[in-house]
Structures are given as C-alpha cells and as structure tokens.
C-alpha cells in the first residue's frame, strides 16, 4: 500500500457541487446590487468564500454580508444541488476495504460538509470530516489540514486529494504529497505546476494511485 491515510477535498473531488454553489453566489451578488452575469462564477468552487468575494472586488467591509447572503440560500437548498461523482462510492469502499483511513479536509463549514455527506450516505466511510470553523476561521486548506492532522495520533504515508491548486498548495504547506483529480472544477495544468505528484482521470485510477 502506497498511502495509509487519504485526505479528500469535498467540492469538485467527491461531489459535483457546482450548481448549488453558483446559484448561491448569484443570489448573494444580486442582493448586493451587483450583476451576477458580470462575473466568471466558474472559479468560485474550491476557494474560501471570502477569497472569492474579495476577488470580485467586493469591499472588505461588505464581505461578511456577502457571505451571510450566500449561506442564507446555500444552507437552505443549495447544499443539496449536488451529487457524488460517478465511481466515488465504489472508490471509497475499495479503499476502506483495503485498510486505508479516509478523511475529509474541506474549506466548507464543517457542519455543512457533514450534512452533505450524510445526505448522500457517504459519511460512514470517513474517520473524521474536517472543515472550516463556524465563525469562519480555519477556512484555508492549510488551516483545515493542520486541524485535522492534530487529531490523528500517527500519520504515516498520508496524501491529500483535490481538484484545485488550493488543495495542492495547502498540502505542500503541511509537507504532504498531493494527487490532483481532473473531473472537478480546477485547472489540471495549474495543479501540476503547483506540485501534484500525479493526476487521476477517474476514481478507479485514483484508487490505484493510493494503493500503489
């Protein structure tokens, strides 16, 4: 076995969450008096909310309101505009059966991540589901990984799996190797340049990478 512990991103890695996230961003921007059609919303999946709103030029003092508006819709209905990618459950089952310890490390609020994974009956595969704190802290991938790793007594041969450069860079910041996946919302060339050890094209190929 190549890796004994596998840390998974959620959005764009385990689930195709784009519709609900983009719908909620459009709602928040419209409520702020901005035209949602004036923004490239394809790039909001993966980064922390505050980072995405800031990248759209929203003033720092308006970001908390933007996040509140986003969550108003997302926490109600947007989180379920979402589906696991084909082959994900089979991959998780195979890895767990092989003895790999599975975890989630997401910038999404931890409670939401747990709700979504429970909704799709995937939560039982994971030892720990870690995400951003309710107050918005611990939202970067590095911070979530540090928080998660503090809870694991021994951490031999661990790997981070994600679809965006934020996953790869977050893993590098805590000295973890990372595998990029190309079925999500990130840019494969960017994940390669950020230092991904490999790029998986399917969940089955990812299984092979992890098990070696």
Positions marked catalytic: 9
How do 101-109 and 5-8 pair as beta strands? parallel
- In angstroms, rounded to a whole number, what is the distance separating the alpha carbons of residues 76 and 61? 25
Do 36 and 26 form a contact (C-beta atoms < 8 A)? yes
- Dihedrals phi, psi of 72, to nearest 5 degrees: -55, -45
**Residue 180, strand partner residues:** 162, 199
DSSP assignment, residue 130? E
């Amino acid at each position: 076995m190549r890796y004994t512990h596998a840390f998974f991103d959620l959005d764009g890695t385990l689930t195709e969450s784009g519709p609900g996230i983009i719908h909620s961003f459009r709602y928040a921007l419209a409520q702020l008096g901005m035209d949602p059609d004036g923004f490239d919303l394809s790039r909001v999946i993966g980064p922390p909310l505050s980072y995405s709103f800031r990248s759209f030029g929203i003033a720092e003092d308006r970001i908390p309101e933007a996040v509140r508006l986003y969550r108003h819709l997302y926490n109600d209905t947007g989180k379920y505009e979402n589906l696991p990618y084909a082959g994900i459950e089979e991959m998780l089952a195979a890895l767990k059966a092989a003895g790999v310890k599975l975890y989630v490390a997401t910038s999404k609020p931890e409670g939401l991540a747990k709700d979504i994974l429970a909704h799709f009956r995937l939560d039982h595969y994971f030892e720990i589901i870690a995400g951003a704190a309710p107050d918005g802290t611990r939202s970067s991938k590095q911070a979530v990984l540090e928080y998660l790793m503090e809870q694991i007594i021994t951490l031999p041969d661990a790997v981070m799996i994600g679809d965006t450069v934020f996953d790869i860079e977050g893993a590098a910041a805590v000295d973890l190797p990372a595998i990029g996946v190309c079925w999500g919302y990130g840019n494969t060339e960017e994940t390669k340049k950020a230092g991904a050890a490999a790029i998986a094209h399917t969940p089955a190929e990812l299984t092979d990478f992890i098990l070696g």
